[in-house]
Amino acid sequence: MTRTRRLAAALAIVAAVALAGSGCTVIPVTGPLTVQETGSGDPLSKPFQRMIAIPPRPTWGPDETIRGLQAAMAAYADDPSILAKYLTPEARAAWNPSGPVAVIEDEYEIVPSTPRDDAAQAQTFTLKGRWVAKIEEDDSYTPTAGVSPRTFQLVKAEGGGYRVSGLEDGLLLTNADVTRAYRATNLYYLTGKTQDRLVVDRVRLRLKPTQTYAQTILERLLKSPSHALKGAVTTSFPPGTKIESIRSDERVVINLSGPLSLSAEDTLSAQIRYSLNKNEIAKGRVIEIQVDGEPYTVDRPSADDHWLDDTSDTAYYVSKGAVHYMGQDGPAGAVPGAAGEQRTGYSGFAVSRDGALIAARTSTGISVAGLTQEGRWQEVIQGTRLTPPTWHRDGSLWTYDSQNGVLLRYDPITGRGPDRVAAPKLSGLDVTKLRIARDGVRVAVMTGENTVHIGALTGGSAGTMLGAFQVLTTTEVGNKITSVAWEDDEHVLVLAEGKAGQTLNEINVGDGEVVGVPLKDPLESVTALGGRVLAEAMTDQGAKIEELDQDRQTWTVKIESDAGSPLFPLG
């Protein structure tokens, strides 16, 4: 059946339902009426269901009217005319749909804000639902909690039924509305200074019946990143770039227009490739990019894949104060130099991107050693209340001095530092952990024992600054977070414990999506890279190193005894 015939059939069903009985029947308890929309057969699109909103009926009471209005909000982006029919002329002139989209749970209730009076001309009602999230105007998705009450003023309409004479600005959608019409989408931008790596920006994009998902993705990619990465990343697309057309057969052909530079071929094609392929669009096919119909560059599936995972994947662990290599199936020997010698007083180990340097915290500061036979520990940052060290992909070493409330950076190559880095949002907070992501942009910051924030390193004319903070997760009072580690550029692993036991959650830093990881034994710490997750487990036989299996459900012991603090480079 074609799209036009499906739509006509659905409208016929709506009309038939409306004529069949009372107003309550046109809003089924299973949810608003939908119709399968375009995209199901297009390799550059995704199938989705489009809401068909229904105008208010003379037989409807306040409850049905408000529910019908909410359904019209879900359909507003495709057809704004239906929502207008629910409003009085004054309300239409005053209401503004812009601003964050409030997302609530599917089940909600509508209660009178004042005692019900059927004789009254104007009445106020409150829609009460559990708040799920908000979708900002930059398409970022932020989980929220609590009750999100919305008030509606209703007046009786001529000929029966009600109209809304007053409502708050912005759209109110249910979680089902968002699941149906939006898609979690990864966009890829470039690191701000070096532009040698891609940084993922996760947003929620609304699918459109008039264009493919591929076009929706690329048109959003031409815009600025979300506020979480503002000032921290750049793009290869200059202002004025437009998507003229996208077509697909054996290859995907994208025709652009605008002042595109020939020197941006590699970075531009990388942004397009990852933004399409990571969202399961055009995967495995050649992508041909044109400018004004003329060949610009061709991106092949076998193209160099250095844009994301370019860090050493060697795993390490600590035994009796000595750092050891770890193979796929167990111990592989101590590292060379002083770091491989047994000693006490060193903790919070961190390995640089290329595996050439290791850092650790002592009672007097942060020390660094080369992983060579000649490598010796050297204190490079002094302080008695420093967070465990963390490496940046550019080779610099970072820590937070809680005693003086300053973020510090040391450059082992030049021996410069430690220099102070502006981090105004951390002022006055009890910073206990600091972990820079492998993309060199995002930073996980733990404050106290209960809260993990995500920030970003920006590099404007005034120098590097750590900002753009938002809370990623927090625990209840009495519980505490014991370990935080970057799993990849999108996810952080957070280990927490309380009276009910331990939890290990994988949290998407872009939209807060949480996936729990089952545990076998009590864990002390976790680390991850390239799909591998390692943990220090405490068993009856002592500390062991365990690895999470590929099924993400079970753990396998890799080192039986005297092994702890597993770590990978960076993260």
Question: Tens of pLDDT along 8-44?
Answer: 333 332 333 332 332 222 333 333 455 545 555 677 8
On whether the CB atoms of residues 125 and 144 are closer than 8 A, the answer is no
Q: Residue 139 pLDDT > 80, yes or no?
A: yes
Q: What three-state secondary structure class fits 515?
A: strand
What integer best gives the mean pLDDT of the chain? 89
CATH topology for 315-567?
Answer: Neuraminidase (2.120.10)
Confidence label for 463 from pLDDT (cuts 50, 70 and 90): confident
- What ranges do the domains of the chain cover? 3-180, 185-299, 315-567
Q: What is the spatial order of strands in the sheet that 182-191 belongs to? A: 198-206, 182-191, 233-234
Binned at pLDDT 50, 70 and 90, residue 197 comes out as very high
% the chain with pLDDT above 70: 91
Q: What is the DSSP-derived secondary structure letter of residue 335? A: P
Q: Does the global pTM surpass 0.85?
A: yes
**Between 4 and 477, whose confidence is greater?**
477
Six token digits for residue 393: 């992909």
Q: Are 447 and 433 in contact (CB under 8 A)?
A: no
Q: How far is CA 253 from the centre of its chain?
A: 29
Res 117: pLDDT: 59
Cα 535 from Cα 522, distance rounded (Å): 10
Looking at residue 120, what is its pLDDT?
63
Q: What is the CA radius of gyration of the chain?
A: 28
Q: How many residues does this entry show for the chain?
A: 571
Judged against a pLDDT cut of 90, whether residue 183 lies above it is answered with yes
Residue 313 tokens read as 């994947």
- How confident is residue 118, by pLDDT bands cut at 50, 70 and 90? low
The per-residue pLDDT for range 332-364, each reduced to its tens digit, is: 999 999 999 999 999 999 999 999 999 999 999
Q: How far apart are CA 182 and CA 189, in angstroms?
A: 21
Q: What is the pLDDT of residues 58-74, one digit of tens each?
A: 999 999 999 999 999 99
Does the pLDDT at position 297 exceed 80?
A: yes
Question: pLDDT value at position 119?
Answer: 60
d(CA 201, CA 193): 17
The helix or strand, by DSSP H or E, that contains position 71, with its residue range, turns out to be: helix 62-74
Specify the pLDDT at position 262: 81
Secondary structure of 89-117 as H, E, C letters: HHHHHHCCCCCCEEEECCCCEEEECCCCC
Q: What residue type is 54 in one-letter code?
A: I
User: Token pair of 279, please?
Assistant: 């969202």
